Amino acid sequence: MTKTVTTRYDVTEHLRTPEEMAAYLEACLEEADGDAAFIAKALGDIARARGMSQVARDAGLSRESLYKALSGDRSPGFDTILKVIGALGLKLHAEAGHG
């Protein structure tokens, strides 16, 4: 019997372009159901794909505080979320809800 070798799935390997990053964040926003820590974790995935050190510099945050804020263990402040979204080159937008 041959052994099947598996590797852990890492979403960051699939977030190569700004369009893929935006689509991933959009999907996570739809699935979050109000869970801010879930959104923070999604932003952390995107930041890791982009390069955490560069995102931290662009957001004006230390690398360590960025890791903590985007770990998914807590809900970071909205100001941090906005800084990270800007540093990632993404835009937040709103649309009318349905029903």
Torsion of CA 33, 35, 38, 44, to 10 degrees: 120
Are 25 and 50 in contact, with CB atoms under 8 Å apart?
Answer: no
* Predicted confidence (pLDDT) at residue 99 exceeds the cutoff of 70: no
pLDDT digits (tens, 9 = 90+) for 69-84: 999 898 899 999 999 9
pLDDT digits (tens, 9 = 90+) for 36-60: 999 999 999 999 999 999 999 999 9
Are 66 and 50 in contact, with CB atoms under 8 Å apart?
Answer: no
Q: What pLDDT is recorded for position 47?
A: 96
> pTM of the predicted model, to two decimals?
0.85
Q: What pLDDT is recorded for position 39?
A: 93
pLDDT digits (tens, 9 = 90+) for 4-48: 877 777 888 889 999 999 999 999 999 999 899 999 999 999 999
Instruction: Give the separation between CA 90 and CA 71, rounded to whole angstroms.
Output: 19
DSSP codes, 9-56:
--GGGG--SHHHHHHHHHHHHHHSTT-HHHHHHHHHHHHHHH-HHHHH
- Every domain of the chain and the residues it spans: 17-87
Q: What pLDDT is recorded for position 92?
A: 87
Are 88 and 50 in contact, with CB atoms under 8 Å apart?
Answer: yes
Are 47 and 55 in contact, with CB atoms under 8 Å apart?
Answer: yes
Are 48 and 14 in contact, with CB atoms under 8 Å apart?
Answer: no
